[in-house]
Structure 1
Amino acid sequence: MATSLKDRVKAATESKPTGRGPALDDVQHDRTPDSVEAIEPDAGTMEFLRRYEEHFAEALPSHVDTSAFFAAVRSVLPTLTRCTPASQLQALLTCARLGLVPDGQQAVITASGNVATLVPTYRGYVELMYRSGRVDSVHVGMVHENDEWSFEPTAPAPLDFTHRPRPDLPKAQRGAPILAYAFCWLKGGARSQVVVLSREDAEEIRDQYSDAYRRAQETGTLDSFWHTHFLDMWKKSAIRRLEKVVPTSAELRALGAIDDAGEAGKSQILLAPDPESSFLVADAVRAHRAAEATQDPARPGSVALPVKGGGKRGRSKPKKQRGGRRR
Structure 2
Amino acid sequence: MSTGTSINLKVEKTKNSKLSQIDFNNLPFGQTFSDHMFVCDYKDGKWQTPQIIPYQNISLDPAAKIFHYGQSVFEGMKAYKDDQDQIWLFRPLENQKRINISSERLAMPAFPKNYFMEGLETLLKIDKEWIPQTPGSSLYIRPFIFATGVGFHASPADEYKFIIACAPSGPYFSGNVKVLIEEKYSRSANGGVGFAKAGGNYAGQFYPTELAVKKGYHQVIWTDDNTHEYIEEAGAMNIFVRIGDTLITSPTSDRILDGVTRKSILDIAKDENIPVEVRKFTVTELVEASKNGTLKEMFGAGTAAVVSPISLFGHKGENYELPEIENSYASRFKKRITDIQYNRAEDKFGWRYLVK
TM-score by structure 1 length? 0.23
Q: In terms of Rg, which structure is larger?
A: 1
Higher helix proportion, which one? 1
Higher strand proportion, which one? 2
